Structure 1
Amino acid sequence: MLLFTTKKEYTDYFWQELGDSCADEIELQEYIDQQFVRLVELTDNISKTSFWQDFPEILGLDAKLNLLVELCKIHEFTSAEIIRITENDYRTYFKELCGYDLSMKTKNSMIFNIS
């Protein structure tokens, strides 16, 4: 498991992973670019007063990027399908990653507070 200590390490990892599997899809590249632009906006401007509003969105962007890495490896999906699945499933990504099924109640944790 990689531990990211800088924004550059984080973004480089995802660009490498996503570039390998979906570099030729313009619609998908634009969607990925939008996620990174928003992530940079949020992380560059986070403060004591904005943390509780921004952190759930940052978690959501992280979930989207992780879903994109997984979905781009499935070559049967079109760009539109990958984007649709990502937008539909990112809010439950960490829930499923932690072993919960969608009907289960989660523990009270910031990791499940995604917007």
Structure 2
Amino acid sequence: MKYQTELKDNILYIRLEGDLIAGADTQQMIDSVDDMQEGNVLLCAVDLSNVRFMDSSGMGVLVSLLTKFRNRGGELVLIKPSDHIRKLLIVTKLNAIFTIAENDDFAAQFLKESTY
């Protein structure tokens, strides 16, 4: 899995590509999020549009990120998961705990409104 992070308007954007499964790069991403949170970043948008496959450990990563942000009074939103990932979220009922945005603008609007 490849990932890029970008901090824009106090929102951490994480753009994932490839397969979201357990591995060294997944742990590296989580560590970089922890570092960002030390700088009081409370809002996060995870772009899943280029994720082809996700297993249970990948779902665990998303839940872990959501928990990290909510425990600090923040919020996380998923951006445009592929059809395969959407189906997994529905089957596992994780669609009930994640907000799904269709693009960056909707994600930013939701996150900014969630802080009021």
TM-score normalized with structure 2 length? 0.30
The structure in which a higher percent of residues are strand is: 2
| Structure with the higher fraction of residues in helix conformation | 1
> TM-score normalised to the size of structure 1?
0.30
Q: Which has the larger radius of gyration?
A: 1
